[in-house]
Amino acid sequence: MKLLVTARESENILEESDTLLRSLYKVEDGNFDNEYPRTTSIKPLFEELHVDVRNKQQVEKALNDIRDTLKDSQKIQLTVAFVPNEKFLDKLKIWTEQNVGTNVILDIRIDSGILGGVKLVFNGLYKDFSLIAKLSNYFKEYNNVSQLPR
């Protein structure tokens, strides 16, 4: 199974899978047949995996596989200066899949103080590609304003 989701999407998937696992063998209110139609994150995954929702063992296995995949996924923390829209997230996911692979959770944080660019934490490495870092480094090279290039 391949997953490439944001941290928020991952939380939604885990919440929905918990609800569905609890409801799987209930026979009254809150049973699987009532809960499954309400899901928004699990349905597309089940369709991708061709899960027969009438087969409880298959559903349970798929839910546990999804949970295990999320648990074992790499995490990338990105700090950006703006609230990303869907188009940006789609492009970011495409870039991540091409450059890192799948089974990745993108933990996106917002800090307008970085002005632009991105701060990145991945596999224990921290890289600061923010505009504020570039400006700060640029001005550190000069002791006073009179030394700035004209």
- In what side-by-side order are the strands of the sheet with 4-6? 4-6, 104-110, 74-80, 119-122, 125-128
* pTM score: 0.83
The pLDDT, as a whole number, for residue 147 is 60
Q: Residue 150: pLDDT above 60? A: no
78 neighbors 106 (Cβ within 8 angstroms): yes
- In tens, the pLDDT along 23-51 reads 998 877 778 988 999 999 999 999 999 99
- In tens, the pLDDT along 67-126 reads 999 999 999 999 999 999 999 999 999 999 999 999 999 999 999 999 999 999 999 999
78 neighbors 107 (Cβ within 8 angstroms): yes
The C-alpha angle 33, 39, 44, rounded to 5 degrees, equals: 110
For residue 93, give Cα distances in angstroms to 4, 19, 55, 88, 98. Answer: 7, 27, 32, 9, 9
49 neighbors 59 (Cβ within 8 angstroms): no
